[in-house]
């Protein structure tokens, strides 16, 4: 087993470096050449003092486990302690990180840079959204809302190291569809809340402004609906859906003013 503490390239650090190397051996020259760090940061690290301290691996029992279990720990070579004042070392944090990486679920550990997110999550988000679409077209609004909510929840639960834009797009689509479902059910306040969330996520997307205007019309707030449409048209002035609905809203405002 390789030592749980390794660096992509050798450089001095203020903390001790173990002398031993795992069975995999030290990183080869190709690995070192592939590492492109910040030159200024590299110079700073190279200027720091360093010292080399021997270490060893021991099997330590895990308290309160049935059946009894053990874990591998890094300790000082002389006294076999994870934290040793005599050797002036403390491997507690290193051991904790090692155990966490061994036992944590895959989604809790960031992948290497430039690795694409697993496609399974995107497929699950898409399937929930499409299930909502099927229910919506069938007039089954509660099931549509449930599936759109599930799609949005999965999109929002993407790990923080995945692209934020991807999560925003997936979430905004699910919420936009849910706003339409609430609108069909006459739940205007819910439809408005979802539409405003869509705008907050993707302001240039005219669908969010359209849904907001539709919800405001349902609430009888025609002037605000007019303004919502104008907000959307500043991003796409030729949008046919918004312009057609603007004419409807203006007609409602004119009719209301006659009363």
Q: Domains of the chain, with CATH numbers?
A: 70-105 (no CATH), 119-258 (1.25.40.10)
* CA dihedral sign, ordered 192, 194, 198, 199: positive
- The residue behind tokens 């491997």 is 91
pLDDT band at 258 (very low <50, low <70, confident <90, very high): confident
Q: What is the average pLDDT value for the chain, to the nearest integer?
A: 83
- The residue behind tokens 């790990």 is 159
pLDDT at 160: 77
- Asked whether residue 82 carries a pLDDT value surpassing 60, the answer given is yes
Q: Say if residues 36 and 59 touch (Cβ distance below 8 Å).
A: no
Q: Give the side-chain half-sphere CA count within 13 A for 124.
A: 14
- Which of 31-35, 92-96, 212-216 bottoms out in mean pLDDT, i.e. has the lowest? 31-35
**pLDDT tens digits, one per residue of 157-177:** 888 777 788 899 999 999 999
Phi and psi at 73, nearest 5°, equal -130, 150
Distance CA 240, CA 238 (A): 6
Cβ within 8 Å of residue 95, ≥6 positions away: 4, 73, 74, 82
């Amino acid at each position: 087993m390789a030592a749980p503490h390794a660096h992509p390239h050798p450089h001095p650090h203020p903390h001790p470096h173990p002398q031993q190397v795992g069975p995999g051996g030290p990183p080869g020259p190709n690995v070192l050449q592939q590492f492109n760090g910040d030159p200024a940061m590299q110079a700073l690290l190279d200027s720091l003092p360093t010292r080399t301290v021997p270490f060893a691996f021991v099997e330590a029992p895990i308290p309160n486990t049935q059946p009894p279990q053990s874990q591998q720990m890094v300790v000082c070579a002389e006294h076999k302690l994870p934290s040793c004042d005599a050797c002036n070392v403390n491997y507690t944090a290193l051991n904790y990180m090692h155990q966490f990486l061994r036992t944590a679920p895959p989604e809790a550990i960031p992948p290497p840079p430039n690795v694409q997110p697993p496609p399974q999550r995107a497929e699950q988000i898409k399937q929930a959204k499409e299930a909502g679409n099927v229910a919506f077209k069938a007039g089954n609004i509660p099931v549509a809302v449930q599936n759109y909510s599930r799609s949005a929840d999965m999109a929002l639960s993407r790990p923080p190291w995945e692209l934020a834009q991807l999560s925003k797009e997936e979430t905004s689509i699910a919420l936009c569809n849910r706003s339409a479902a609430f609108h069909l059910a006459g739940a205007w306040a819910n439809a408005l809340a979802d539409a405003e969330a869509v705008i907050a996520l993707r302001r240039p997307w005219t669908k969010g402004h359209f849904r907001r205007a539709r919800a405001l019309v349902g609430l009888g707030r025609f002037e605000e609906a007019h303004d919502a449409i104008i907000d959307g048209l500043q991003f796409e002035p030729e949008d046919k859906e918004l312009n057609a609905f603007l004419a409807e809203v203006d007609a409602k405002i004119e009719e209301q003013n006659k009363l």
